[in-house]
A and B are shown apart, each in its own frame.
Chain A
Amino acid sequence: GAVVSQHPSRVICKSGTSVKIECRSLDFQATTMFWYRQFPKKSLMLMATSNEGSKATYEQGVEKDKFLINHASLTLSTLTVTSAHPEDSSFYICSATRGGGLSNQPQHFGDGTRLSIL
């Protein structure tokens, strides 16, 4: 069964709206979670590494003020797309690893959130 839960699964909203996506580890503590973005028929692009209790680490080219990440507890990370515009429309997926990012365990993915900005 799923070990990482992501919510909501689909969002359709108007341009200018801010959208919050939640990622939860269901039966383990995740000190590190990862956020990815995926365009149709493309690969997963790592956006940022979410660290519990500290600032997220963003990949080059990802706007930290646009994509706000909060990892306030060991089981929850949130991604907020601020003032979303049509070009932000995409499939956003989170992942988490038992034992933290450097552990020898595989990453488990959430079901993803399909964001459509009109």
Chain B
Amino acid sequence: GENVEQHPSTLSVQEGDSAVIKCTYSDSASNYFPWYKQELGKRPQLIIDIRSNVGEKKDQRIAVTLNKTAKHFSLHITETQPEDSAVYFCAARGQGGKLIFGQGTELSVKP
């Protein structure tokens, strides 16, 4: 069935460093790949998304890359700040519009 694998499960960086989170998906028909940030007890917040006709997208300190051939996409956060600390989820949209989520990455940015 549809599956999304996300790595690493935890990531600790120093403030100002970059953070990279990687995901792979199994459904070759997936055409939309959002990234969500979730703080403890809160709803997931969309931070960036990319569609299958684009290889890269950037929004200030956040960028996402997509390799459709390899079924692989990544989130890049540059110049990390303590407020970036949260759990990040990648997702792939498959049949019927449903999102399949990765396992999540707990990012910790140390001041």
Binding site for B on A (CB under 8 A): 32, 34, 41-46, 49, 57, 60, 91, 93, 95, 97, 100-104, 106-112, 114
B89 touches A106 (CB 8 A): no
Contact A107 B34, beta carbon cutoff 8 Å = yes
Within the complex, the shortest CB–CB distance from A32 to chain B, in Å, comes to 6
Total number of residue pairs linking A and B with CB closer than 8 Å: 59
Task: Find out whether the CB atom of B99 lies under 8 angstroms from the CB atom of A46.
Answer: yes
Count of interface residues, chain B, beta-carbon cutoff 8 Å: 24
Determine the distance from Cα of A60 to Cα of B41 in the docked complex, in whole angstroms: 26
The answer to whether B99 and A109 have CB atoms under 8 Å apart is: no
Cβ–Cβ < 8 Å partners of A91 in chain B: 41
Cα–Cα, bound, A111→B97 (Å): 21
Given contacts A43-B89, A43-B104, A104-B51, are A34 and B98 in contact (CB under 8 A)? Answer: yes
Q: Which of A34, A46, A100, A110 contacts B43 (CB 8 A)?
A: A110
**Residues of B contacting A: mostly:** strand
Q: How far is the CA of A106 from the CA of B46 in the complex (A)?
A: 8
> Which B residues contact A (CB, under 8 angstroms)?
1, 32, 34, 36, 41-46, 49, 51, 87, 89, 96-104, 106
29 pairs from A and B in contact (CB 8 Å cutoff): A32-B97, A41-B87, A41-B104, A42-B103, A42-B104, A43-B102, A43-B103, A44-B89, A44-B101, A45-B101, A46-B100, A49-B96, A49-B98, A57-B96, A60-B1, A93-B44, A97-B97, A100-B97, A101-B96, A101-B98, A104-B51, A106-B34, A107-B34, A108-B46, A110-B43, A111-B43, A112-B41, A112-B42, A114-B41
Other than the known A41-B106, A107-B46, what 7 A-B pairs have Cβ atoms closer than 8 Å? A34-B98, A46-B98, A46-B101, A60-B1, A101-B98, A109-B44, A110-B43
Determine which of A43, A101, A106 lies in contact with B101 in the assembled complex, contact meaning CB atoms within 8 Å. Answer: A43
3 smallest CB-CB distances across A and B, nearest first, come from: A101-B97, A109-B43, A44-B101
A3–chain B nearest beta-carbon distance, Å: 11
Q: Which residues of chain B are within 8 angstroms of A107 by Cβ–Cβ distance?
A: 34, 46, 99
